[in-house]
Amino acid sequence: MDYHGGGFYLGSCLEQAPFCAKLCRELKAIVVGVDYRMAPLDKFPAAIEDAEDVVSAVLDPKSPGYEKLRQGVADFLRRQWYETLGTKEQRRNEEIAIPPQPSVTLDTTRIGFSGASSGGNIALNMALDVPETPYGPAWPCKIPRDYPHQIPLLLLYPSLDLRQLPSERTRNERMPPPKDPKRKRLDIDDHLAATYVSREQAGHPRASPGLVDVSTNLHPEAKSLLILSGIDTLWEQSEVWTKKVEAEGRGKDMKTLRYEDRKHGWTQIPEIALSSEERKTRLEVLNECVRFADVTWQGRDPVEVMDAEWADDNVRAQGRPDMKVHDHIGKGGRTEEAPLGAAGPANEENADHARLAAQKAAGGP
């Protein structure tokens, strides 16, 4: 189940189409893009409730959406099947019989969640139990606590703490300063953000899932891949959260990849609007997401597997000046546990050639 970004007041499932299509093709999975309600018309917690309805439709036979979802998938598959039959003219003239309705069974042993920006907020929410708080009663997770299968969470530069308005977030040294910080102006993002959740409710654990104690309230089978972009006012929230996850004993279940010189949203932006370097790292992120979900569904430890694969890359590169493969992959490349601002190889192109050389040396494609 995938959730688009847009601050809870913008965005569309269509912007996630390339990402979802890749997951669908390479994981051989059904990917459901959730078209949740947004502000200013619909306020918190409407988006979370819509997302939960889809989880129930996947897992709970008693849910009103259980049969509707499967019927919708079957109808879609039948339409796709029909488009492969005969010619367009024959189909237009109804000379080709409509194929029978396929039978659809969803494999509920392989569920996962993905989302970018505000969509990452929702994706994390789906794997959380929320205890009773001053904001309201307990709000349990729709996934049973005893669900026995690993659950991948693909969190791309998520918004985790809505107590901060956009203008209140820290701008790191990689970001340009505001045009005129002394001049008062209408900050449309602040106004729109407040139409989703009031300042009084912004600290609700469902609005700000980064505040939830993951030691007891993150689903025990959840495995998280966290993608961070350095040119992003949300980076600080995620850095704070990674430390919190470590302190609360779930660090072993999370892999963090930092792309220090990439801007917020670059993995979901159409390729035509990206530089060649941005396209390279965009593809790398998509591949890492596929790999993480695949390994997680296999029942293996995705963090351990990915760490081992990276270590193998570095071992193969030792002693080979033409194979400079490191945890830091050039400008804009990924870093594993280094803080923002850490130095890496100066030439991204050389690093890319090095990775290709390492793959060939290992007998890869």
Q: What is the CATH number of domain 2-57+110-177+185-300?
A: 3.40.50.1820
Q: Which of 288, 297, 225 is nearest to 255 (CA)?
A: 225
For residue 96, give the DSSP letter.
Answer: S
Q: What beta strand segments (E) does 121-169 contain?
A: 151-156
Token pair of 146 as six digits:
């005893």
- The pLDDT assigned to 171 comes to 81
Domain ranges of the chain: 2-57+110-177+185-300, 65-107
User: What does the pLDDT profile of the chain (365 residues) look like in tens digits?
Assistant: 999 999 999 999 999 999 999 999 999 999 999 999 999 999 999 999 999 999 999 999 999 999 999 999 999 999 999 999 999 999 989 899 889 988 889 999 999 999 999 999 999 999 999 999 999 999 999 999 999 999 999 999 999 999 998 888 878 777 777 666 555 555 788 888 999 999 999 999 999 999 999 999 999 999 999 999 988 889 999 999 999 999 999 999 999 999 988 989 999 988 899 899 999 999 999 999 999 999 999 999 999 999 998 777 655 555 544 433 333 333 444 444 433 333 233 333 333 333 333 343 334 43
Provide the residue type at 242 as one letter: T
Measured distance CA(136)–CA(130) in Å, rounded: 10
Put residue 205 in one of left, alpha, beta given phi > 0 → left and psi -120 to 50 → alpha.
alpha
For residue 115, give the DSSP letter.
Answer: E
Alpha helix (H) residue ranges in 30-185: 46-59, 66-82, 88-92, 118-125
CB 18 within 8 A of CB 282: no
- Can you give the length of the chain in residues? 365
- The pLDDT assigned to 342 comes to 31
- The pLDDT assigned to 165 comes to 87
Contacts of 137 (CB under 8 A, 6+ apart): none
CB 208 within 8 A of CB 163: yes
Q: Which of 6, 63, 71 is nearest to 37 (CA)?
A: 6
Provide the residue type at 73 as one letter: V
- The pLDDT assigned to 183 comes to 52
Q: What beta strand segments (E) does 143-294 contain?
A: 151-156, 222-231, 254-263
- The pLDDT assigned to 321 comes to 42
- HSE toward the beta carbon, residue 341, CA cutoff 13 A: 4
CB 330 within 8 A of CB 348: yes
Q: What beta strand segments (E) does the chain contain?
A: 2-3, 33-34, 113-116, 151-156, 222-231, 254-263, 334-335
